[in-house]
Structure 1
Amino acid sequence: MDLKMLIFLTLATQSFAANDSVQGFGNLSPTSNCDVVALGEALCDKRIEVVEEKLKGIATLVSQNKQLCEFQIKALRESGEQQKQICEHRIKEANQQISNALKTTQPRTYGRNVPEPVASNLMPLFPGSKYYISKEKMSWHLASTFCKSNGMELASIETEAENNAILGVIGNENPKESYWLSGSDYGSEGTFYWTGTGLKISGFTYFERRQPDNYGGNEHCLQFWSASSTLAWNDHHCHLKFRFICEVIENVL
């Protein structure tokens, strides 16, 4: 083969290969295998779908929490209302019991009636009370027993007006006599209580100067003291015999 023929065949082969290559590329479609825009849009739509699903889940959770919160609030309100009703019912019952007690309770005379002839000697010296001023002399304990057995208690003096009312009688009758009262510091040395009422002696007092002094270490009972020019209060030995004053409270429930 001469040189010319070799060059012709070479050129012809190259031309055929080129045409074949061009025709191959000409058959490709922009959307068949490599549509990047479409793929991006699809991916974006998928992400949006996932987010929307998450949002739906969050919204559902929020709704459930809201319902739970409302249920709890409702339960608390109902519980509070029940407690209120229970409390009101208890108060109503307590008031009814008090009302019933008031209807059936008689005026207090320490649970007993004052018999004759003691009752005929009672003196209305102070509003709400009557007093028995004895002429008998007894120890503090026997005087207390006498008062109790006759529906009374040893007198408890709680105001200046009451004190003056009693002094107005015993001071004029016989200022040289001493009279037992209900005051005592048994079991509470130095602190006196009215045993007739259970109240601590405080506020108004009428003790003689430098009294009470627990002289001899054994003075535990209170009296109007005749050694004083004004019959002031004094602590004394409980076993000694003196007159005494009983008190009965009237019209007090």
Structure 2
Amino acid sequence: MDLKIWILFALATQSFAAVSSVEELGTLSPSSNCDVAALGKALCDQRIEVVEEKLKGVTTLMNQKLCEFQIKALRESGEQQKQICEYRIKEANQQISNAQKSAKTRTNGRNVPEPVASNLMPLFPGSKYYISKEKMSWHLASMFCKSNGMELASIETEAENNAILGVIGNENPKESYWLSGSDFGSEGTFYWTGTGLKISGFTYFERRQPDNHGGNEHCLQFWETSSTLAWNDHQCQLKFRFICEVNENVL
């Protein structure tokens, strides 16, 4: 056999062996004429396709893991929000429970403690009243009311006046009761110290009162008259019963 022909035959045999070792390369076209360069390019292309397929699989896996991670994060976030919400509801319910258990009546940030609160009487719409059995000077009576979350009573309408009289007049008409009225610093002009308002419009003064008898009567009270109780100015240091008032709107 001619040497040239033998060499070409050997090269062709090696090329076909290389092609057959590549998976899924396929059969060469008869027109390739055993082109070594074409064989190399085909082999390279096949390898690139294999790598690309593997990359596609990795990318798909990465996207799946990322999606699973995001779902997990959302679930955890939702669980945290649920726990926070439940905690807030629990706290709110606890506050409500504490308020319901409290035996104190509130007004302007102060407390009306027991047993004073249990003795409050709703004599007139919008207010409750504490009618004392104790006797004190006007100043001490005022301090007692304030320290228990109330004020000495301020009477601003005839209806309110009649409601209070209906209780104290029937209980013991011979007792006198301090109210919040005073003319300290404004001689002859009385103000309700419980509200800061001037006593005007409705009044219930006894005839010829207030008279500042002896120049030393500056505090207002329900005073026993011949037939009933009426308003009168009296000496503030004297001890009488008293009436405290608390506004129901701020209880």
Q: TM-score range by the shorter chain?
A: 0.5 to 0.7
Aligned to 1:136: 134
Aligned to 2:235: 237
Aligned to 2:216: 218
How far does residue 108 in structure 1 lie from its aligned partner after superposition? Answer: 6.9
Give runs of aligned pairs for residues 185-200 of structure 1, distance below 5 A: 185-200=183-198
Q: Secondary structure at the match of 2:228?
A: coil
Give distance in 1, aligned partners of 2:179 and 2:164: 11
Aligned to 1:209: 207
Give distance in 2, aligned partners of 1:232 and 1:240: 18
Question: How many residues align structurally?
Answer: 147
Partners of 1:178 and 1:224 within 8 A in 2: yes
Give runs of aligned pairs for residues 44-83 of structure 1, distance below 5 A: none
Partners of 1:181 and 1:223 within 8 A in 2: yes
Aligned to 1:25: none
Q: CA 1:185/1:138 → structure 2, altered by over 3 Å: closer, same or farther?
A: same
Q: Deviations over 1:109-162 (max 9, x none)?
A: 243110000000000000010000000000000000000000000000000000
Q: Percent identity?
A: 93
Q: Secondary structure at the match of 1:157?
A: coil
What is the TM-score normalised by the length of structure 1? Answer: 0.56
Q: Secondary structure at the match of 2:128?
A: strand
Give distance in 1, aligned partners of 2:149 and 2:196: 17
Contiguous gaps of at least 5 residues in structure 1 = 1-106
Partners of 2:123 and 2:164 within 8 A in 1: yes
Q: What amino acid is aligned across from residue 116 of structure 1 in structure 2? A: E
How far does residue 252 in structure 1 lie from its aligned partner after superposition? Answer: 4.7
Give distance in 1, aligned partners of 2:237 and 2:162: 27
Give runs of aligned pairs for residues 133-212 of structure 1, distance below 5 A: 133-212=131-210
Q: Secondary structure at the match of 1:197?
A: coil
Based on CA coordinates, which of the two structures has the bigger radius of gyration? Answer: 1
Give distance in 2, aligned partners of 1:204 and 1:151: 26
More strand per residue: 1 or 2?
A: 2
Q: How well do the aligned residues superpose, as a CA RMSD in angstroms?
A: 1.5
Matched, 1:120 2:142: no
Partners of 1:108 and 1:251 within 8 A in 2: no
Give distance in 2, aligned partners of 1:222 and 1:140: 9
Q: Secondary structure at the match of 2:118?
A: helix
Contiguous gaps of at least 5 residues in structure 2 = 1-104
How far does residue 206 in structure 1 lie from its aligned partner after superposition? Answer: 0.1
Which structure would you say has the larger RCO, counting Cα contacts within 8 Å and 6 or more residues apart? 1
Give distance in 2, aligned partners of 1:228 and 1:152: 31
